[in-house]
Amino acid sequence: MKNKMVKALVLGLTMSTIMMTGSVATFAKEAEATEETAETEEAEGETADADKEAADKVAALIDGIYVQERTETTDEDCKAAKEAWDALTDEQKALVEGEEASPDYFGLDTGDASKDDPRNADEIGENELLVVSFGTSYNDSRVADIKGIEDALQEAYPDWSVRRAFTAQIIINHVQARDGEVIDNMQQALDRAVENGVKNLVVQPTHLMHGAEYDEMMEVLDSYNDKFESVSVAEPMLGEVGDDATVINEDKAAVAEAIANAAVKDAGYETMDAAAEDGTAFVFMGHGTSHTAKVTYSQMQTQMNELGYKNVFIGTVEGEPEETACEAVIEAVKEAGYKKVVLRPLMVVAGDHAENDMAGAEEDSWKSMFEASGAFESVDTQITGLGSLPEVQQLFIEHTKAAMEK
């Protein structure tokens, strides 16, 4: 009996020891796992901090070149921003965000920049035709619209050397940083002309009107007038502004017919009347301006009416004049009874405004706002700049000829 009790006691102690040992082992494993998790989370946190720091550095560099003034360090700054971007991982690139910076600054595919020509060569002779544009960072649009005009002018005037200048330094920096394409601003282009010994200078602006960009161009040009034997400035696309909305001219008529015919054809109609009968309205969206030249947009509406294009409406991104604001245009199209809408830019270049403000997916784009109104069966877009139209290129050729003959 005594032996049985001893055996039972020994067995119990043994079982208790085994259970305690198992508990300790389990506890040890759990503690080790917790420690490993903590270390992993700490490492992940450190990696996330490092990624954010690297992305913020690139964002700051992009914001640093997103400026309208060229400085002594601009070339170096553009190079540094691109090198820093290229050094990022894909995960880090997605984190780039600044006042102006975003992953799209370097990451958005806008086409092949190698198809463009910055037209900044030297030793060009005594006659220069300087084509001045606001500019665009959209490569395909720059080739089709701006280069399209420049090429047409060079073909028309082979005895003159066509050169390029952009007035938007922000765009010049963007193209240079992203694509390595160096484009002159106005001052650089004029300095280059002086250094090349140019005697006769003709300036052809591709601006739509005598607006703020045109005024700024003239201000820079005025300080160079005594550097050449002759300086002549051609008319912008739509010619003289005029006093009020009723004033139209041959230039406005030519552009109105060119964009209307192209829009009708691209929409699959034979005539504007056929489109109207099918319930389709065309909305041509310009930039808009607070400059006194804003009356030009009202004049273009007058011109469309004069041509009998009752289903054409003129709008502007900036909503100036007021009747060209998106909300006002939507109401006008609704009141006219059209159920289908085609949006197209009234701009020399189909760049950022056309891609985003007009046709973008954001809720404040014109396409989204027209759709959100619920008043239309369909809202389509045509992303084509005026500069690619042969009729518009011919208009610039004629403006340049008039300037050469002054």
Q: Which residues pair with 345 in a beta bridge?
A: 285
In this prediction, residue 47 carries a pLDDT of 79
Query: First-to-last CA distance in the chain?
Result: 134
Q: Tell whether domain 250-386 is in CATH 3.40.50.2300.
A: no
* DSSP assignment string, 136-204: -S-HHHIIIIIHHHHHHHHHH-TTSEEEEEES-HHHHHHHHHHH-----BHHHHHHHHHHTT--EEEEE
Q: For a pLDDT cut of 70, what percent of the chain falls above it?
A: 89
pLDDT in tens, 158-187: 999 999 999 999 999 999 999 999 999 999
pLDDT in tens, 103-124: 999 999 999 999 999 999 999 9
CATH class of 113-239+391-404: alpha beta
Q: Rounded distance, CA 340 to CA 276, Å?
A: 9
Q: What is the pTM of this model?
A: 0.88
Q: What is the mean pLDDT of the chain?
A: 92
Any idea where the domains of the chain sit in the sequence? 40-94, 113-239+391-404, 250-386
pLDDT in tens, 8-53: 444 454 455 545 555 666 666 666 666 666 556 555 667 789 999 9
